[in-house]
Amino acid sequence: MTNLLSNFCLASAAPGAATLSPILLGPSEAQLILALPIIGLLFCTLCAIFRVKSKAPAFFTVACLAGAFALVVRLYLNKTGTPVITSGFEWFFLEWGDGKGQRLVANFSLYLDSLTILWMLFVTGLATLIALYASEYMAGDLGTGYCRFFAAFNLFVFSMSCLVMGDNLLLLFLGWEGVGLCSYLLIGYFYKKPSAVEAAKKAFIMNRIGDLGLLMGIGLTFVHFGSIEYRDIFHAAQPYIEAAKAGKYNEIPFLVQLIPVLLAIGAFGKSAQIPLYVWLPDAMEGPTPVSALIHAATMVTAGVYLVARMYPLFLLSEYALPLVAWVGALTALLAATIGMAQFDIKRIMAYSTVSQLGYMFAGLGGLSSTGAAFHVVTHAFFKALLFLACGAIMHGFAGQLDLRKLSGIRRLKGWGIVSFGMLVGCLNLSGFPFTSGFFSKDMLIGSEFLTPGMAPIGWILLFTAGLTAYYTFRVFFRVIVGPLHYEPGDELHSAHDEHGHGGENHNEHAHVQDDHQHHDHGHGGHFHPHAPGWAINTVLLTLSVLSLSASALNFLHLPNQPHIEGGIVPELVMESSAAYESPYARHEAHEGTGDGGHEGPDAHGTPSYVPTAIALDDPHAHAGTFLGWNPHAVMFYVSGAVGFIGIFVAFVLHYVGRTTAATAKADALLPMLGPIPGWAQHKWYVDEFYKYSIYWPLIILANLCNLFDKLIIDGIVRLFGAIPRWIGNTIRPTQSGELHGYAAGMAAGVAVLLFIVFILTLR
């Protein structure tokens, strides 16, 4: 593998904008972006203290986040293309000498470049929308729970902003763990439900494993580059980048090449990649707005952000990008296969999230940071939309999420917008032509075929795209269309105002395999699903429109910038440290010079640092092809066709001739596949594997330690305590308490003394 990759792995790498020295500024209004969620947090805390029972926390949060969004938009409009660092107050400052690498600095300073702004745009924008949605969704919990929810929500946005905007790795780490904490608090929001608590714990601990990798990466970064501030790192990495350009990887110390691998481990944890992905599906125990914001749109893309942010370092390593690519591709495939066999629609969405994150990592690893970032943005919109639509269904049907118990809900009054939103989301996710998901996915897969050695990953992703289309539309054809049928979920038991709160006798949410039919049709007769209200509908409609119009991003371009295929999002990425100069692009530029001195942005809009995408037009480049064609040229048709096939299969198996909610044609086909669907339904037993290979050995070890501590270590201590006692017990009988005994002893003593004196005088 290394052989194949050695020539691509950046034969050349030059972070475009990162080489520009950043502009240093004092505190600016960008700091307000951090302050606004904190204000929201304080307000929610006060509401909790004074037991406010209104929607005030929600609307205050929406206002704060909208303010933050407005500030980010302002930043975007004012951006110059050069990174800006605004200094904040000092957090870490340690010094042990004057030289380079002898001070550890990590302040609350912000690094604002186009990548940051891109991320912040969708983070704050989506957070605002989802907070609005949650104001209605969580209304059943008015009171302290409501305040708690929005407090954690604000804290999340704050942490995410730190993560994205921080100018050093340690502030990123603060945000990194901060979003982990909020994820923990929000997954465990229904804290009376053991499964929710379990899931929250699992998420936190799984993330911590990745975080250790990240922490070690930070340590190694400091030791090797003498700083953990981005600008210093990028500056200090410059000589290595030169070496990497020349393909002299042996001149780059192994430990420097190890840094991105360690950082990638952190990214795998946060973004739910193999082997640390198992927490994300369980995280669906949290309220749906949380799933939509944290576990679909924003937090899980932090890993992608980390890789994109540290792209210059990733380019230094022979191993890091292939690792990232393969892990991403395999995760995409694995999660898609699991998603196909699930029945809980929220879980299907969760696995599709894991799968799509895999796409993004594969894109990063396949040298398409632009495609990956584009996919992050489009995915954020349509996946949030899908989750919120699922949430609306869950909300309206008392927690019902089993696709075998819901059917044709578009026929119900008031569910039109939900059905529409679902359709839009599904089309995007399955890459239906001219939706935004279609463009971003094409760009991504196309790059894989372009990059030498990455073709297998391209094929995997292409195949996965088909699976994605299938399982996505499986949900759509079963739940939204078809004959009308529904059963309420198990939350019907609890009083409505305790919605989702899980009373004390509340069972676990065993949606998936819940075959005991305690909600029969009789129940269904009494049950009236309540259609979503204005807030949910508004948000769903907005997101639908945004998801659809996000495809326009593909055709928008930055003013005064060379146009790049993929539109505005890739152009933003190219301005940032995540940019790199493709070897093939350089090749072309060189030829262009030879031909007629066209260099830089020319009539065709081809800049000197064009990304892989356009460079492939050049037949001389040693770029890969897709069965002999230019991947980007044909990928539109190929992936469109693959998507159609997936949708068609789903249509045939799950819509045609289906008369009940519970069964479809697909069920008849299942036995033909033998045990495989069952394995997939049990998530390939990965959880069980972890349980028996890691959890149980550790528990046994812990118990052994406990015993060792009690018996051996404390035993030795007690042994020392026991020695004097033993001596005392041994000589105790000599103390008979009888006068004559003592007297005899004395006499004997005297006799012995006399005898000794006698012997001594004898000489």
Partner 1 sequence: MQNAATPISAAAAGFQIQDWWLVLLMAVPLAFSFIIAFGAPHRARATALFGTLVAAALTTVVLFQFNWGNGAAFQFQNRIAWLPSLGISFSMGVDSVAMLLIALTGLLGPLCVLASWTAITDRVRTYYAWLLALQAAMVGVFIARDLILFYICFEFTLIPMYVLISLYGSTNRKRAATTFFLYTFTGSMIALAGLVYVAWVNAGLPKDAFEGAGTWTFDIAVLQQAAQGSLTMAQQSLVLLALMAGFAVKVPLFPVHTWLPLAHTEAPTAGSVILAGVLLKLGTYGIYRFALPFCTGAFIQYAPFLAVLCIIGILYGGLICWVQTDMKKLVAYSSVAHLGFCVLGLVALNTAGIQGSILYMINHGLSTGALFLCVGFMYERYHTRSMKEVGGLASKMPIWATFMVFFVMASVGLPGLNGFISEFLCIFGTFQASDTWGKGVWGSSGAPVPGATPGNLGPWYALIAGLGVIVAAMYLLIMVGKVVFGPLREPGAHGDAHGSHGESHDSPGHLPADLTAREITALMPLAIACLVFGLYPMPLFDALKGPVGETVAMVQDVRENGLNNGAAKTASVIDAREGTR
Partner 2 sequence: MTTEFTATLAQAGYPAAFQSITLAHYLFISGAMFSLGLIGFLTRRNLIIMFLCTELMFQAAGLALVAFSRFHMNMTGQSFVIFIVTVAAAEAAMALALVVLLFRRRESLDAEEWSELKG
In angstroms, rounded to a whole number, what is the distance separating the alpha carbons of residues 739 and 520? Answer: 93
| Least distance in angstroms from the C-beta of 192 to partner 1 | 5
Query: How many other CB atoms are found less than 10 A from the CB of residue 472?
Result: 31
| Least distance in angstroms from the C-beta of 729 to partner 2 | 9
In angstroms, rounded to a whole number, what is the distance separating the alpha carbons of residues 345 and 654? Answer: 14
CA 460 to chain centre: 21
Under 8 Å between Cβ of 530 and 409: no
Environment class of 424 (CB within 10 Å of its CB; exposed 0-12, middle 13-18, buried 19+): buried
| SS3 (DSSP) at 402 | strand
Burial per residue of 618-631, b for 16 or more beta-carbon CB atoms within 10 angstroms, e otherwise:
beebebbebeeebb
Residue 733 binding partner per list partner 1, partner 2, none, with a CB distance cut-off of 5 to 8 Å that depends on partner kind:
partner 2
Q: Does 205 bind partner 1 (CB under 8 A)?
A: yes
| Closest to partner 2 by CB, 673 or 751 | 751
Q: Which stretch binds partner 2 (CB under 8 A): 101-109, 704-712, 717-725, 730-738?
A: 730-738
Stated as kind and residue range, the H or E segment containing 198 is helix 194-225
In angstroms, rounded to a whole number, what is the distance separating the alpha carbons of residues 135 and 128? Answer: 11
| Least distance in angstroms from the C-beta of 755 to partner 2 | 15
Q: Does 40 bind partner 1 (CB under 8 A)?
A: no
Which residue is associated with the tokens 């009236």? 528
CA 663 to chain centre: 34
Specify which residues 110 forms β-bridges with.
86, 166
How many helices (H) does the chain have, and how many strands (E)? 32, 7
Under 8 Å between Cβ of 573 and 118: yes
Q: Does 706 bind partner 1 (CB under 8 A)?
A: yes
Residue 673 binding partner per list partner 2, partner 1, none, with a CB distance cut-off of 5 to 8 Å that depends on partner kind:
none
| Closest to partner 2 by CB, 637 or 742 | 742
Q: Which stretch binds partner 1 (CB under 8 A): 120-128, 199-207, 569-577, 582-590?
A: 199-207
Residue 91 binding partner per list partner 1, partner 2, none, with a CB distance cut-off of 5 to 8 Å that depends on partner kind:
partner 1
Q: Does 665 bind partner 1 (CB under 8 A)?
A: no
Q: Which stretch binds partner 1 (CB under 8 A): 366-374, 595-603, 714-722, 742-750?
A: 714-722
Under 8 Å between Cβ of 295 and 353: yes
Indicate which single residue of 51, 526, 732, 763 sits in contact with partner 2 (rule: CB under 8 A): 732
The tally of CA atoms less than 13 A away on the side-chain side of residue 752 is 6
Query: How many other CB atoms are found less than 10 A from the CB of residue 679?
Result: 15
- Quote the radius of gyration of the chain (alpha carbons, Å): 32
Indicate which single residue of 517, 663, 693, 736 sits in contact with partner 2 (rule: CB under 8 A): 736
Q: Does 743 bind partner 2 (CB under 8 A)?
A: yes
Q: Does 102 bind partner 1 (CB under 8 A)?
A: yes
Indicate which single residue of 98, 515, 595, 738 sits in contact with partner 2 (rule: CB under 8 A): 738
| Closest to partner 1 by CB, 202 or 632 | 202
| Least distance in angstroms from the C-beta of 762 to partner 2 | 18
Environment class of 687 (CB within 10 Å of its CB; exposed 0-12, middle 13-18, buried 19+): middle
Residues 6+ apart with CB under 8 A from 227: 101, 105, 168, 233, 236
Under 8 Å between Cβ of 640 and 433: yes
| Least distance in angstroms from the C-beta of 122 to partner 1 | 24
Going by C-alpha positions, the residue among 319, 357, 362, 355 that lies closest to residue 339 is 355
Q: How long is the chain?
A: 763
Query: How many other CB atoms are found less than 10 A from the CB of residue 760?
Result: 8
Q: Which stretch binds partner 1 (CB under 8 A): 3-11, 22-30, 562-570, 712-720?
A: 712-720
Indicate which single residue of 484, 711, 727, 747 sits in contact with partner 2 (rule: CB under 8 A): 747
Indicate which single residue of 49, 694, 744, 757 sits in contact with partner 2 (rule: CB under 8 A): 744
Indicate which single residue of 63, 139, 197, 652 sits in contact with partner 1 (rule: CB under 8 A): 197
Residue 663 binding partner per list partner 1, partner 2, none, with a CB distance cut-off of 5 to 8 Å that depends on partner kind:
none
Residue 113 binding partner per list partner 2, partner 1, none, with a CB distance cut-off of 5 to 8 Å that depends on partner kind:
none
| Closest to partner 1 by CB, 224 or 474 | 224
In angstroms, rounded to a whole number, what is the distance separating the alpha carbons of residues 477 and 403? Answer: 10
Q: Which stretch binds partner 1 (CB under 8 A): 63-71, 412-420, 664-672, 706-714?
A: 706-714
Q: Does 94 bind partner 2 (CB under 8 A)?
A: no
| Least distance in angstroms from the C-beta of 721 to partner 2 | 20
Residue 671 binding partner per list partner 2, partner 1, none, with a CB distance cut-off of 5 to 8 Å that depends on partner kind:
none
Q: Taking CB under 8 A as the criterion, which residues in 228-267 touch partner 1?
A: 250, 253-256, 258
Q: Does 734 bind partner 2 (CB under 8 A)?
A: yes
CA distances to 22, 182, 227, 267, 761 from 19, rounded to whole Å, are 9, 35, 17, 24, 101
Burial per residue of 570-598, b for 16 or more beta-carbon CB atoms within 10 angstroms, e otherwise:
bbbbbbbbbbbbbbbbbbbbeebeeeeeb
Per rule CB under 8 A, count of chain residues that contact partner 2: 13
Residue 732 binding partner per list partner 1, partner 2, none, with a CB distance cut-off of 5 to 8 Å that depends on partner kind:
partner 2
| Closest to partner 2 by CB, 522 or 728 | 728
Q: Taking CB under 8 A as the criterion, which residues in 209-228 touch partner 1?
A: 209, 211-212, 215-216, 219-220, 222-227
Under 8 Å between Cβ of 654 and 665: yes
Which positions lie near partner 2, rule CB under 8 A?
Answer: 732-740, 743-744, 747, 750
Binding site for partner 1 (CB under 8 A): 89-96, 99-102, 104, 144, 170, 173-174, 176-178, 181, 184-185, 188, 191-192, 194, 197-198, 200-201, 204-205, 208-209, 211-212, 215-216, 219-220, 222-227, 250, 253-256, 258, 504, 698-699, 701-703, 705-706, 709, 713-714, 717, 721
